[in-house]
Structure 1
């Protein structure tokens, strides 16, 4: 399978982006293709429906990758109880053609305990784009974010470090099972 992770932060080394990078590692470790589209590294133009923007290099790349994806992961920081503006902008550029019938996992990183508000909003957006929300989501906050900070070197001990890794791996494993089931069903109806 081909999975695209859309990292929706406008901050370098954001914990939500690093969580997306960890998802790429896990997915590749399971033998699937995975790529990260980092909106900090590849910014998109501000969505303007009256303007022709399809030839914008980053937008064309996003469009191609999302259309080719079998499954999608949306990763966002939580700002003021919502998803990031750059992720919302990217989603505004996309359509049902990119999401329809595809499984989507929502993940977030919050400065507080957890980022549930942003995840609920992502699930509503996915439903409106006719995607299929995964039955679980991933939200990290507080001390759990330490594992995904740029300064984390893997040797540091903090409470819950293995728990968060185990939870992320379990949820992504469940998501991959859903994605494989849906991909197999989609492929069998096309044959």
Structure 2
């Protein structure tokens, strides 16, 4: 099973990226093959339908990772009721061939209590890309953000119970769909 996490912030120490790293660490503990694509570390050019970006190394790498993935996790800060511009731009560089039939877990970090608007926006985008939205999502805000930031500063990031449960449900969905695809191929 291969999972790709797209950390959708252009801020070095974004809480959503800290959360992406915690998800990566949890999956590593479960011996899941996971790749974190951090948009802060690998910025992508602005998408334009008039241009072909297949020569841009970051775009090519992201597209390759998504083609090989069995499941995808998207993390974003919530900005003005939506996902970050860099995450939306990254998704614009991708298409249905990258998401069709693949489970996707949406994750948000908000300044308020929860980031429901960004989660709904990500899920609408995934539906349009023919991905399969996980029935659960992860959203942290308020005091939860402070806990994740504090743990990251200490080098000990641990997912809370609800995040672990949402990740578990997502992983079961990935397994179920992967097994179904393998059975159809055989």
**Residues 129-167 of structure 1, C-alpha deviations (whole Å, 9 max, x = no match):** 000000000000000012321664278xxxxx98x6111
> 1:174 maps to what in 2?
169
Residues of 2 paired with 1:8 and 1:117: CA distance? 15
> 2:100 maps to what in 1?
100
Gaps of 5+ in 2: none
Residues of 2 paired with 1:188 and 1:99: CA distance? 20
Kindly report which structure 2 residues correspond to 1:153-172, keeping only aligned pairs within 5 A, or say none. Answer: 153=154, 165-172=160-167
Runs of 4+ in structure 1 deviating by more than 4 angstroms, as ranges, are none
Residues of 2 paired with 1:3 and 1:109: CA distance? 20
- TM-score where L is the length of structure 1: 0.93
CA contact (8 A) 1:83 1:118 kept: yes
Gaps of 5+ in 1: 156-160
CA RMSD of aligned residues (A): 1.6
- TM-score where L is the length of structure 2: 0.95
Q: Does the residue aligned with 1:149 lie in a helix, a strand or coil? A: helix
> 1:118 maps to what in 2?
118
Residues of 1 paired with 2:114 and 2:133: CA distance? 19
Count of residues paired in the alignment: 185
Residues of 1 paired with 2:16 and 2:81: CA distance? 15
